[in-house]
Amino acid sequence: MQELIRISKALSDETRIRMLRLLLERDVCLCEMQEIFPISQSQVSRNLKMLMDAGFLKRWREGKCVVYIANRNSKNQYCQALLDVLANSFSDDGVVSVDREKLKQAIDKQVRKGR
């Protein structure tokens, strides 16, 4: 039961859901996330850590950047089920479209390579 509670808490915030929705589509580094979400770096890191601790994400280092992606192969059955639901939800949501456009702009600016 504790596992489900931790996962539920991770998804109890709109910003974390939006982050996870982007991470289902592609890998995103911390610096790119900062370009998308108007919150401090520590808040971005905290949100990603919460998703990571719940089992939703994988991460690796790429130079000075920490890169995240949704963990589609999570051993946690709740994570797998909820990732499937999120992958099939919000595709045409306006906020998600804006997030995608901001990510595209961050990629075009090569924010990741500039760090």
Sequential pLDDT tens for the chain (115 residues): 888 898 999 999 999 999 999 999 999 999 999 999 999 999 999 999 999 999 999 999 998 899 999 999 888 888 999 999 999 887 777 898 899 999 999 988 887 776 5
What is the rounded distance in angstroms from the CA atom of residue 29 to the CA atom of residue 66? 6
What's the Cα-to-Cα distance from 74 to each of 25, 63, 64, 87, 100, rounded to whole Å?
16, 25, 26, 15, 24
CATH topology of domain 2-114: Arc Repressor Mutant, subunit A (1.10.10)
| Helical (H) or strand (E) element with 108 | helix 94-108
State both tokens at 89: 């939800």
